[in-house]
Amino acid sequence: MTGEQFNVDGATAIVTGSSRGIGRAIAERFASEGADVVVSSRDRDHVDPVAAAIDERDGGRALAVECDVRDRDAVEAMVAATATEFGGVDVLVNNAGAAFVAPFEEITPNGWQAILDVNLTGTYHCSQAAGAEMREAGGGRIVNVASVAGIRGSPGATHYAAAKAGVVNLTRSLAAEWAADGVRVNSVAPGFVATPGVASKMGVTADDVDRSDVDRQVGLPEEVADAVQFLASPASSYVVGETLVVKGTPRLETWPDD
């Protein structure tokens, strides 16, 4: 296998929730590799600087789009704008998400619904709208950003864990449905990543993370971008419906002393 297998040059990619953190790292990575990218979030003021910074560098072009993934009309407008600007949609990265910490008994119906709407229903809206373009064009790649919480659970964030578990199973089920249409669907499940949100909760920033250190529990946004690029590239041609866990050193059960 050569580096060409990981090539996304010339592709058009939509990256939701890409104003900062993991989404921004993915958008910047794709653009640096020659892909045209749509950077989107609910606030246009947050994505305009990201798109402008991408356009100042060598590589692919960027289009800033204001889009709330909970709003089907906004999602369809984003996909239409992408097709108009770049001629189609080759890759969709469903990264937009939301979370808050609360005991289960304190999660209100509105709080529960809000987390499901962004993380799971938003993935449904974007996949269905962008998928229509892909299927008509003969194929594409969808990469959903799930979470280890959706695989292992997360006390204190049951609503988020449930939503991300839905994303994992949506990935597997949709992959089986759309494989015949040439659309590969996979997901990544990050653990703790040094984003602004994690920094505020854990006090760990990207400056504290040494990528060469194998034994660690906090990763970098760029390391998740590596995994997403793999799943969006020809290198993952035989990977369909899978969830790639990116979480560092395993936490294993230990035997009690005799």
The residues annotated with a catalytic role in the active site are 160
Rounded to whole angstroms, the Cα distance separating 125 from 71 reads 8
Q: Looking at this protein, which amino acid is placed at residue 156? A: G
b or e along 131-164 (b: 16 or more beta carbons within 10 Å of the residue's beta carbon)? bebbeebeebbbbbbbbbbbbeebeebbbbbbbb
Q: Which of 130, 54, 46, 60 is nearest to 88 (CA)?
A: 130
Answer for the pair 220, 209: CB distance below 8 angstroms, yes or no. Answer: yes
First-to-last C-alpha distance (Å) of the chain: 49
